[in-house]
Amino acid sequence: DAMVIQNPRYQVTQFGKPVTLSCSQTLNHNVMYWYQQKSSQAPKLLFHYYDKDFNNEADTPDNFQSRRPNTSFCFLDIRSPGLGDAAMYLCATSGEGTGRTYEQYFGPGTRLTVT
Amino acid sequence: RKEVEQDPGPFNVPEGATVAFNCTYSNSASQSFFWYRQDCRKEPKLLMSVYSSGNEDGRFTAQLNRASQYISLLIRDSKLSDSATYLCVVPRSSGSARQLTFGSGTQLTVLP
């Protein structure tokens, strides 16, 4: 089945220690998104890639970076995690030109704990 | 007005009941609307897409009122498995429409 996969599902890192979260998709969608979701809050968009074109949200801290080496993979790098970065990180994809352009499909998420 | 505003909830209903959630949005140019379902500590899952006046899928009906800028989700014959948080989602009013704005969600608990 076509899907969005995130690894790891749970990640524990130390304060200030860089961490990378990964996302892969078999949907062949050209847009990939990274969201941060804290408890009882709506998902907050950090950035997205339209093909190779990176689009950062104005309020995303510089501490958060992303890479998309190819259509299938996208990475979220947190350079110096703080306690406030503990959250669920959700990867999503959408396929423009598929007729269902704005429908986003989410991976299972990576729950990040910062100690 | 907020970009997306939902009923505050929580809704606690007995099994078999009909329940409706409302959502208002500010972007009058929006052409597409979505309801996502999110279970506790899981990812949001697309429940319904609305591209015209409404959509129906089994026990679920979504209706769009463009004049009043609100979308509703009706769940008939509620099941225990319908317990979740329901997120109203619309394209953002600025920037690319591929960027979605999520409502804060309405929590539903279906009681036996």
Bridge partners of B103, per DSSP, are: none
Is pLDDT above 90 for B95? no
Token pair, residue B92, equals 């953002």
Tell me if chain B has a CB within 8 Å of the CB of A105. Answer: yes
Using DSSP bridges, classify how beta strands A64-67 and A73-78 pair: parallel, antiparallel or unpaired: antiparallel
Taking an 8 Å cut-off on Cβ atoms, the answer to whether B98 and A31 are in contact is yes
pLDDT in tens, B8-57: 789 999 999 999 999 999 988 888 899 999 999 999 999 999 888 889 99
Task: Burial-class residue B49 by CB neighbours within 10 Å (0-12, 13-18, 19+).
Answer: middle
- Cα–Cα distance for residue pair A112/B8, rounded to 1 Å: 28
Residues 58-87 of A with CB under 8 A from B: none
**Cα–Cα dist B54/B33, whole Å:** 10
When pLDDT is cut at 50, 70 and 90, the band that residue A98 belongs to is low
Whether the pLDDT of residue B96 is over 80: the answer is: no
Q: What is the pLDDT of residues A69-81, one digit of tens each?
A: 999 999 999 999 9
Q: Which residues does chain B have within 8 Å of residue A53's beta carbon, measured at their own beta carbons?
A: none
Q: Do B43 and A111 touch (CB under 8 A)?
A: no
